[in-house]
Amino acid sequence: MPIYTKLTAMGRYVPERVVDNDELATIMDTSDAWIQSHTGIKTRHFAMDQENTSDLATQVAQQLLTKGGLAAGAIDLIIVTTITPDALTPATACIVQANIGADNAFAFDMSAACAGFTFGLATADKFIRSGQYRNVMVISAEVNSKMMDFKDRTAAVFFGDGAGGALLQATPNIAENSLLAEKLQTRGNAEVIHSGRVQPITAVAASNYPQTDAFYQNGREVFQFATNVVPEQMKTLLKTANVLPSELQYVICHQANLRIIEKIAANLALPMTKFPHNVERFGNTSSAGVAMALAEVFDDLTGPTLLTAFGGGLAYGSVLIKK
């Protein structure tokens, strides 16, 4: 008997500390007017002190258990998508597993940069359709603030911290199937966006100690990629699924920059009312942005919705869903 994937619940979480544009302007050469005109961003939230990526993800995981009416022991798999993990090892997902007591699950991290939530959904769908796993969490969580060079206004003004996630469950009922179509792609490029580079040693010396590079992006190239290449993927997927853009209830894009979302809306000839966005309040939360925006409209979801995200890799993915 075929098994399908039902999207049962969504959750989101942001840290308490709010940083507005005026505060950033006190530590770098920028202004509220410049940031808003170029990005649409007004505020973002930063995790402070001991709050790390696993803590944000754990908050979402606990929400999903509550909303799904499940005990932690019922979870079979936890996927955390992140480019800002607590550490290279153990996986942030394993820390979340321990935090919620999901003793029967297995857990791993996925790194697809800002496209992580779409890649994570598509991956979870395959595990569920195998028939071996019934309850799966996909959580996208980022503490971008810890990877920023706050002297670099071309990157630091964009980013915030947050987490969003989905509870996916197996169903034999095709009418309950939530993941309708997908398209995942990458274009290998190590220069346009990169973060956390660790250089190999140059000599055997007692002074050797790992050092990590801050986040970097070529904003102009990212903008061109997001507004030219990504919409073509979206159109191709919709055509394959036999869905017209006008039939979509929502299009939820990576919350990178409000100006990018506006350009994509124009490319698809759709009004901005179909594009839920939270980038003004939360900034670019990397892989978490799409999940957080979907969580905000999930209760109102009645029609097909296209999720699209793009980021370092270059990775870009689109997933067509319904509730």
Q: What is the number of other CB atoms lying within 10 angstroms of the CB of residue 102?
A: 26
Q: What is the number of other CB atoms lying within 10 angstroms of the CB of residue 149?
A: 14
| CA 13 – CA 51 distance, rounded (Å) | 12
| CA 141 – CA 166 distance, rounded (Å) | 12
Characterise 313 by phi-psi region: left (phi > 0), alpha (psi -120 to 50), beta (else).
Answer: left
Q: What is the number of other CB atoms lying within 10 angstroms of the CB of residue 19?
A: 16
Bridge partners of 46, per DSSP, are 17
CB contact at 8 A, 258 and 278: no
Degrees (nearest 5) of the Cα angle 112, 117, 122?
A: 90
| CA 19 – CA 150 distance, rounded (Å) | 13
CA distances from 99 to 30, 62, 142, 167, 296 (A): 39, 9, 17, 17, 25
| CA 2 – CA 274 distance, rounded (Å) | 33
Tokens found for residue 60: 């979402």
What residues are labeled active site? 114, 254, 284
